[in-house]
Every structure is written in C-alpha cells, then in structure tokens.
Amino acid sequence: MMYKLSRQKGNAAFLTLFLALVCILILLALFDLCRIFITRETVKAVSDSIALAAAQELIFLSPDSISLLAGEMALEKGCRLTGLCMGYDEIQVSVEKDMDLSAPVNAVLGTLKVVSSSSRAKIIYPWDRRWKQCRYYEFGFRPY
C-alpha cells in the first residue's frame, strides 16, 4: 500500500508540472496574439495617415514630394512602405511592420512575422461638380 501512495505522488508532481507548462504556453500565445492586434492597429493607423496626407498633397497639386513624405511617415512609426499607387483621384498605400514573437509561438507560426495593412483614399477636387462651386460651360458639338 505504501508503494502505491509514493508512486502516485510522483505522477501528481509530473501532472502539475505539465499543467503549469501548458498554462505558460497558453499565456504566451495570448500575449503574442494581443501584440499582433496592437501592431495591426498601429500599422493600420500609419497607412491611413499616409493615405490622407498623400491625398492632401495631391489636392494641392504637389505630387513630387508624396513618396518622400510617405516614406518618412512610415519610418517614423517603425514601419516600411511597400507600395504607393497614385492616380488622379485615388491614392493606395501599403505598409508593413516586422514582429518579434515569443519562441513557442514563433515555432508554430514560422514565417508569419510581418503585419501589413493597406489603405485607399478617394479624392474629390474642389472643382468637382459635386461641390457646385465652379461654373461649367458645356459646348455642344454635333458632327453633321
């Protein structure tokens, strides 16, 4: 009888140690998941602000400095500008940021260490007809 009791105490110690390790791994995974969401919100805010700043520069007809401005804004927040597409009435920006995850989560996720976001801003110019601030003259041309 004494032999079974001492053997069960050893198994209980291993079970307690195993449960403690599982709890630690779950807490690390939750911590990393929270860090991923925080980084995602930061990257989204950076891409939104770059898109809006670039749209403002495009409204004021100075497209030459947009790429420099976008790169500086991304670097200021620790991000990397991966794409900048400018059209006449639309800007699209893509931004990435690298993450350092804890070792157990890093082993599971592998190469998923980059958080990226893209934003788009549509531009309505002051001379657009929707604002009704400019007079328009329509000339009819009918080829006979």
CB atoms closer than 10 angstroms to residue 26: 11
Per domain, the residue ranges of the chain are 2-122
Please write the tens of the pLDDT for every residue from 87-134: 888 899 999 998 877 766 666 666 668 889 999 998 877 766 666 666
pLDDT reported for residue 103? 67
Instruction: Answer whether 70's CB lies under 8 Å from 84's CB.
Output: yes
Burial class for 104, CB neighbours closer than 10 Å (0-12, 13-18, 19+): middle
Please, which pLDDT band fits residue 19 given cuts at 50, 70 and 90? very high
pLDDT digits (tens, 9 = 90+) for 27-54: 888 888 888 899 999 999 999 999 998 8
